[in-house]
């Protein structure tokens, strides 16, 4: 089985969020896909296969299958549009979260085999957020007290400033006890930074302490800031150690997430 490792939401390797992309000729068992994800130890491993109805996409963390993942979708689109369908600029995936469309905007003035500078834009559903009380448990788990808390699929904690977000050193064992699948922590970007918001995403329930750049997390984060700031076009920064930039448009219950990608490696999985 061919596997690509792609860094998403970046234009260079060792930045952004790495994902493994597997393109099998027939579907592996769920047990094998879960084992491959545990072996890879990335926050997500994607499996995509072209079926009669089109491409189908599934995502596995080291802790099991999940219903939505942004960076691994971008990485999968990159692999398919570069190596499988190089003449196409659109790929649609059937997923647990419905049909997801990714559009490639090619960079200008480059060699046809060089993907540097291409931008991939994904159309994702926005999560419905409901306010939830700020608790002492949140403060103890994250190491700082949120000023607001919201709950969709994930928990969204709003901090007073960017410095607080960047300086967090959460207790992952306590984060596991918080509501929601992931714990996304965010604040407004500092004046002059060029970013509307900064965030970090913690996912110990999925076997991942911190997701370097979380697309599905931004389907919570960006609708919040769109409403708060009164704007539909935003630029977000994920302040993990690797870091990553997301360009987004929010509206109509959808979030458009855009970013680059860089190929780290190509390999073959030999499960037998």
Which of these ranges, 25-39, 109-123, 171-185, 251-265, has the smallest mean pLDDT?
109-123
For residue range 169-215, what is the model confidence (pLDDT) as tens digits?
Answer: 999 999 999 999 999 999 999 999 999 999 999 999 999 999 999 99
Choosing from 44, 53, 65, 148, the catalytic residue is 44
Contact 44, 31 (CB under 8 A): no
- In this prediction, residue 116 carries a pLDDT of 61
Position 272 pLDDT exceeds 80: no
Position 112 pLDDT exceeds 50: no
For residue range 62-91, what is the model confidence (pLDDT) as tens digits?
Answer: 999 999 999 999 999 999 999 999 999 999
For 116-123, what is the mean pLDDT? 89
Indicate the pTM of the whole model.
0.87
Compute the mean pLDDT over every residue in the chain, rounded to the nearest whole number.
95
- Whether 31 is a known active-site residue: answer no
For residue range 208-221, what is the model confidence (pLDDT) as tens digits?
Answer: 999 999 999 999 99
Position 131 pLDDT exceeds 80: yes
For residue range 89-103, what is the model confidence (pLDDT) as tens digits?
Answer: 999 999 999 999 999
Q: Confidence class of residue 115 from pLDDT cuts 50, 70 and 90?
A: low
- In this prediction, residue 113 carries a pLDDT of 43
User: Residue 227's CB: how many other CB atoms inside 10 A?
Assistant: 12
Q: Confidence class of residue 157 from pLDDT cuts 50, 70 and 90?
A: very high
Contact 165, 199 (CB under 8 A): yes
């Amino acid at each position: 089985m061919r596997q690509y490792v792609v860094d998403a939401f970046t234009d260079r390797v060792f930045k952004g969020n790495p994902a493994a992309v597997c393109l099998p000729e027939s579907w592996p068992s769920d047990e094998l896909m879960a084992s491959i994800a545990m072996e890879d130890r990335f926050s997500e491993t994607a499996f995509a296969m072209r079926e009669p109805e089109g491409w189908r996409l599934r995502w596995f963390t080291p802790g099991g299958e999940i219903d939505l993942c942004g960076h691994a979708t971008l990485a999968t689109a990159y692999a398919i549009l570069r190596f499988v369908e190089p003449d196409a600029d659109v790929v649609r995936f059937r997923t647990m979260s419905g049909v997801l469309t990714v559009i490639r905007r090619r960079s200008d003035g480059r060699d046809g085999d060089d993907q540097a500078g291409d931008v991939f834009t994904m159309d994702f559903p926005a999560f419905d957020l409901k306010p939830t009380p700020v608790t002492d448990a949140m403060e103890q788990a994250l190491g700082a007290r949120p000023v607001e808390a919201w709950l969709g699929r994930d928990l969204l904690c709003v901090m007073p400033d960017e410095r607080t977000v960047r300086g967090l050193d959460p207790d992952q064992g306590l984060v596991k006890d918080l509501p929601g699948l992931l714990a996304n922590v965010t604040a407004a970007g500092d004046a002059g930074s060029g970013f509307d918001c900064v965030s970090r995403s913690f996912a110990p329930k999925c076997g991942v302490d911190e997701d370097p750049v979380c697309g599905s997390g931004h389907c919570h984060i960006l609708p919040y800031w769109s409403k708060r700031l009164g704007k539909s076009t935003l630029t977000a920064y994920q302040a993990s150690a690797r870091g990553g930039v997301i360009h987004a448009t929010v509206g109509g219950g959808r979030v458009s997430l855009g970013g680059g990608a860089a190929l780290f490696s190509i390999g073959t999985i030999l499960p037998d």
